[in-house]
Structure 1
């Protein structure tokens, strides 16, 4: 795997829930390790919470994360499936917005909440944000893969992730 040093790294990103009621900004510390800050989780709670086979996240210091939507935001709700850990979500659209250990110094943000400009370069000018976005830097998954005891053989094991090698590719919702 190539190092993220081969890819542009953002100084900040923004994101939101599906309905736009919850918006955030992350200002990355200068020493942020993009390789080790992202990962996946295959625990049953993350699967059920994201309605996906695995949760892909990027972890940052809690001090780097801030809500840009009005606070307190009435649509932000925290849920504790496990004591001491919270999952934040929007009560309006249901989007998962974060996972964190309540007393911990970090917050994990679902990659799918990152705004398209930063994730894949939608509308990028190529100056502040590269035309391909920052997806390669944000999703290196060098931080590891959690709860691999729940892997689905032939589907979610690291060596089996070939879902995109099969089937027709649609560029839009056709």
Structure 2
């Protein structure tokens, strides 16, 4: 069981089931909502239980972003598919996860370099974003 929360604790979640390795997203929307890039894992929707009130922002026709209306913590990215993305920094305690790659590198900020040797995709990469351990 994995648990997490926003900064103030008003929104909490638990995940029963496996989490995908962490993927760093460098798209413009992620950079604007976080102030840098986003590091997110994901889990099957039916394995995620959320308590508290999540505020949802429809950031594109295909996706919305979930955050705490009290403290503003970014928690979720909810797009098409069977999984809900969870911002890795909101997980409580050791996650056991590792960073597996980077997406939307064409949109990354000019003030930093990606130098960790992990796979990089100019845009989305289903091979990275849909991988879930068995």
TM-score interval, smaller chain: 0.7 to 0.9
Q: Which runs of 4+ in 1 moved over 4 A?
A: none
Equivalent position of 1:44 in the other structure: 28
Unaligned runs of 5+ in 1: 1-11, 119-132, 161-174
Change (3 A) 1:152 1:50: closer
Name the residue aligned to 1:130.
none
Distance 1:57 1:63 in 2: 18
- Which structure would you say has the larger Rg? 1
Contact 2:28 2:108 in 1 (8 A): no
Q: In structure 2, what is the equivalent of residue 99 of structure 1? A: 77
Higher strand share: 2
Question: What count of residue pairs does the alignment treat as equivalent?
Answer: 117
Relative contact order, higher structure (CA 8 A, sep 6+): 2
The Cα RMSD (Å) is: 2.0
1:157 Cα deviation from its structure 2 partner: 1.5
Larger relative helix fraction: 1
Please list every run of 5 or more consecutive structure 2 residues that lacks an aligned counterpart in the other structure.
Answer: 118-134
Partner in structure 2 of residue 111 of structure 1: 88
Task: Name the structure 1 match of 2:113.
Answer: 156
Looking at structure 1, the residues matched to 33 and 108 of structure 2 have their Cα atoms a distance apart, in angstroms, of 17
Structure-1-length-normalised TM-score: 0.61
